[in-house]
Amino acid sequence: MLKRRLIGVVVGVGALIGGTSVAYAQDTYIPLISKGFQHQFWQAVKSGAEQSAKEHNVRITFEGPETEAMVDKQIDMLSAAIAKKPQALGIAALDSKAAIPLLKRAQTGKIPVIAFDSGVDSDIPLTTCATDNLAAAALAADKMAEAIGNSGEVGVIVHDQTSRTGIGRRDGFLDEMKAKHPNVKIVSVQYGSGDHLKSAEIAKTMIQANPNLKGIFGANEGSADGAAIGVKESGKKLVLIGFDSGKEQKDDINSGLMFGAITQNPVGIGKCVVDSAVKALKGEKLPKKVDTGFYWYDKSNMSDPKIAAVLYD
């Protein structure tokens, strides 16, 4: 008993010093490997995971690479997590295929795998806690088309073309435009790794190359924030639609620089991962996917309690 208490004290001190662990003196350990740490979105997911860990009295760690371009580093983190032989595992894959060999190793070791935010091209995860990215991006396309009068040129800046979120949001936006708004022309789809500065440069280049451009869709927090910087620096007025939340996007919407955005439910995603892992460990059957929801928000509804609850700074 004394040993268990000492373990809890040591790990708890580590968390206070600046680690990313939520730790208690218990035996159930669930590492969560996210796509990154640089966006407030991931901090919100982490918060939800911590809430659930406390409720279930399990120990979690939450980590991710410095940027969402570091697929190799995420793979190394995943390998290290599996080597610790945890009771369960959460993964938000940067590359929907690259993680599969390691997840097969987890499966062989009878470690339940829960995917979150971005799934993998495999049936190894028992469930995936995520937004319906195709539907969310389709809503962004509808809002864009409406805002530009259902006609004109639009550009798209996506964080990547390897994760299920990047692919889903790109295809959801493009497919909706093609099916329902044929007079809106997508003139460019570019990838900025979710990096603010890179996405800002892409936006400025896109504007210079397409003088009749009416709008830009940024498919995640970094893409949208970067696009807003690029639009502002270009001095051009156009319709900018984002994805996710964060102080920058909220400020840009309030100022009129950004027309609006799609928000996910990041706290709900984090809670879902840990809740699902605990259920798996109890032998409960899980659905193949848990839709954690999304909302459109703009200046007119940001203070609505239902919307405000899923926005974050």
Q: What is the pLDDT of residues 230-263, one digit of tens each?
A: 999 999 999 999 999 999 999 999 999 999 999 9
Looking at domain 133-263, which of 3.40.50.2300, 3.55.10.10, 1.10.1060.10, 3.90.1150.150 is its CATH number?
3.40.50.2300
- According to CATH, where is 3.40.50.2300 located in the chain? 2-131+265-293, 133-263
Residues 9-63: pLDDT tens digits?
Answer: 333 333 333 334 444 445 899 999 999 987 899 999 999 999 999 999 999 999 9
What number of CA atoms fall less than 13 Å from residue 163's CA on the CB side?
Answer: 29
Task: Write down the architecture of domain 2-131+265-293 according to CATH.
Answer: 3-Layer(aba) Sandwich (3.40)
Could you report the per-residue pLDDT of 94-114, keeping only the tens digit for each? 999 999 999 999 999 999 999
**Confidence at residue 180, expressed as pLDDT on a 0 to 100 scale:** 98
pLDDT tens-digit readout, 164-204: 999 999 999 999 999 999 999 999 999 999 999 999 999 99
- Which residues, 6+ apart, have CB-to-CB distance to 51 below 8 Å? 267, 270, 271
Q: Where is pLDDT greater, at 14 or 116?
A: 116
Q: How far apart are CA 220 and CA 252, in angstroms?
A: 15
pTM: 0.86
- With beta carbons less than 8 A apart as the criterion, state whether 240 and 231 touch: yes
Distances (CA, A) of 206 to 200, 218, 227, 253: 10, 13, 10, 21
Alpha-carbon gap, residue 199 to 259, rounded angstroms: 18
> Judging by DSSP bridges, how do beta strands 213-218 and 260-263 pair with one another?
unpaired
Q: What is the structure's pLDDT at 38?
A: 77
DSSP 8-state code for residue 69:
T
Q: Mark out the alpha helices in the chain (DSSP H runs).
A: 2-17, 40-56, 71-83, 100-108, 133-147, 164-180, 196-209, 221-234, 247-255, 266-281, 305-308
Structure tokens at 145: 């088309």
